[in-house]
Amino acid sequence: MRFDDRTVFVTGAGAGIGRATAERCAAEGARVIVTDVDCEGGKETVERIEAADGDATFHELDVRDEAAFADLVESIAAEDGLDALVNNAGIGQPPAVVEETDTETFDRVLDINLRGVWNGCHAALPAMKAQGSGAIVNVGSLASVLGLPKQSVYSLTKGAVLNFTRAVAAEAGPHGVRANAVCPGFTDTALGREYFESRGDPETARERMTAQYPLRRLGEPEEIADCIAFLASDESSYVTGHGLVVDGGYSAQ
């Protein structure tokens, strides 16, 4: 299996894409480090993995906490090694035009979506460089490559995640470390459903969104997880600095 005797660290693994990624990697033989601020969700992910005979442990982690992130990564790397880091934790933005977006929203979205990815890479790179190998997968968004109206802060953070990923790839490549991003289109997760709820008529909003995608459906978390697992594995050993858009054809139009 592609992750036999490998350790994969996943943030925001208590639900959605993070949970699907943790389960996918565990099914391929990984020791999965499940982290989230949602302890109940994170522990449930571990229970699901263990029920399928996989190997996982849960650690509560707020990705905004640089010291906590660094301490946990250092501990995991010293004990089991660190073969892959998936910086998945992120939040959405309440729809609003730029001038009506408040500072509190700006700060919170930047702290989680951008600072969290920075903290993860900052913590993992010393261990990965020291061992001469490692794969970082940062979860961006369709908003990494397209500016989404009324999602200015979200677009700002996800665009930055993609370019930051490229910088890490260029810098860490000589040390045997790869960095890539996965940029999903609209995915059927709790975050996506929150967006529909914010539109007032969730069913109509979902229908209108689905109609914009050539495949005429939203992505499933497991489909995004498949792409993350590919980039975290040796099957993508000559791929680095890439933003893999997984959007059902939306950006092809």
pLDDT class of 211 with cuts at 50, 70, 90: very high
Distance CA 18, CA 212 (A): 25
pLDDT class of 63 with cuts at 50, 70, 90: very high
Q: Is residue 154 flagged as an active site residue?
A: yes
Which pLDDT score, from 0 to 100, does residue 195 have? 79
pLDDT tens, position by position, 121-166:
999 999 999 999 999 999 999 999 999 999 999 999 999 999 999 9
| CATH T-level fold of 7-184+219-244 | Rossmann fold (3.40.50)
Rounded percentage of the chain residues whose pLDDT exceeds 90:
91
Which pLDDT score, from 0 to 100, does residue 201 have? 86
CB 29 within 8 A of CB 2: yes
Mean pLDDT over 188-208 rounds to 85
pTM of the complete model: 0.96
Provide the mean pLDDT of the chain.
Answer: 96
Strands (E), 73-176: 84-87, 134-139
Which pLDDT score, from 0 to 100, does residue 230 have? 98
Per-residue CA distances from 79 to 13, 40, 51 (Å): 21, 25, 24
Which pLDDT score, from 0 to 100, does residue 140 have? 98
pLDDT tens, position by position, 188-197:
988 788 778 8
Catalytic residue among 154, 195, 213, 238: 154
Which pLDDT score, from 0 to 100, does residue 68 have? 98
DSSP code string of 43-94: HHHHHHHHHTT-EEEEEE--TT-HHHHHHHHHHHHHHH---EEEE-------
**Which of residues 202 and 54 earns the better pLDDT score?**
54
Please report, for the chain, the start and end positions of each structural domain, with discontinuous segments joined by +: 7-184+219-244
Mean pLDDT over 180-209 rounds to 88
pLDDT class of 179 with cuts at 50, 70, 90: very high
Which pLDDT score, from 0 to 100, does residue 192 have? 80
Per-residue CA distances from 23 to 30, 57, 127 (Å): 9, 12, 24
